[in-house]
Every structure is written in C-alpha cells, then in structure tokens.
Amino acid sequence: MTEDELSRSSHSNPGKSLANGIKTNPASSSPKSSLSVPMGPPVYVDLAYIPNHCSGKNTDPEFFKRVRASYYVVSGNDAANGEPSRAVLDALLEGKSQWGENLQVTLIPTHDTEVTREWYQQTHEKQQELNIMVLASSSTVVMQDESFPACKIEF
C-alpha cells in the first residue's frame, strides 16, 4: 500500500488509525485485542527491552515467540504496579520453549526484586533446560551522591 493509499484509507475511516501500518480501533477496550498483528517470521535481535517495565499489560508469550533476543532487559521495580510481572517472566519460558532451537538467552534484571528472585529459584531447572541465564549485577557504579548495580555485556 502506498503512502497516498494509507492516507486516503485513514481519512475515509475516521474511527480507525494506523499503528505500524496496521489498522487499529482506538475505541477497543483491551490493548491486546486492539492490534491484530498478522503472523510472520520471528525477529532476531541482540538486545530487547521487555516493554512497560515488565508489566503484564502488554507482554505475553507471543512477544517472546516473535522477538527472539540474545539479551532481554527487565527494568521493573514497582511491586505495587506488578512490575516486574511474574506472568511476563513465565511468558519468557513459554515463548522460548517454542523456538525450536536452543539459543542462549540472558535475562538482565536492572533491579533485585523479590518477584525476580522467587521466579529465578522456582524455575531454575526450566531456565537451564531452555538455555536461559539470569545475569546478576556484578559491579556497582558510583556517581556523585548515588550508586547502583551495573552489568557489563559484550556483543
């Protein structure tokens, strides 16, 4: 579809908009149901940030089936909002189990949370089976009045 056709299509359908070239209906109540993404081949990347601070609102096993990364960053640190979400961490296991190839995956949590620790301990055997390594912070960065854990990764 050309750019002119896309423009005409959106003007003739005022209740619809385009997201990544796909028509969406903003009035839909669920973010997952509002975007009908056609199936396609998986995308391989070196590094992927798990969307929305690893919240279960937008990430499910389909994300991990389609976005195949060597490294996934988990940045959630807000237990009150379900970040990181245990369901998303479990979705990584479910999605990766369907890859059909045993590529090494490294999970990089940016915060040491109870949810991440419990998930790590309870699913450690499954992680090993799927060739998933959880990277712990190995050093501390000190900047003026604050310090924080850091990890070094190389590609």
pLDDT digits (tens, 9 = 90+) for 47-96: 999 887 676 777 889 999 999 999 999 887 776 766 688 999 999 999 99
- Measured on CA atoms in the order 104, 61, 93, 55, is the torsion positive or negative? positive
CA-closest candidate to residue 54, choices 130, 116, 125, 126: 116
Strand partners, 50: none
Phi, psi of 41 (to 5 degrees): -70, 155
Per domain, the residue ranges of the chain are 43-149
Strand partners, 139: 150
- Which two three-digit tokens encode residue 51? 């969307």
Structure-derived torsion over alpha carbons of residues 66, 102, 100, 65, reported in degrees to the nearest 10: -20
- The string of pLDDT tens digits covering residues 120-155 is 999 999 999 999 999 876 667 788 888 876 666 666
| DSSP 3-state of 19 | strand
Quote the Cα angle for 95-60-112, to 5°.
90
Instruction: Give the amino acid at 33.
Output: S
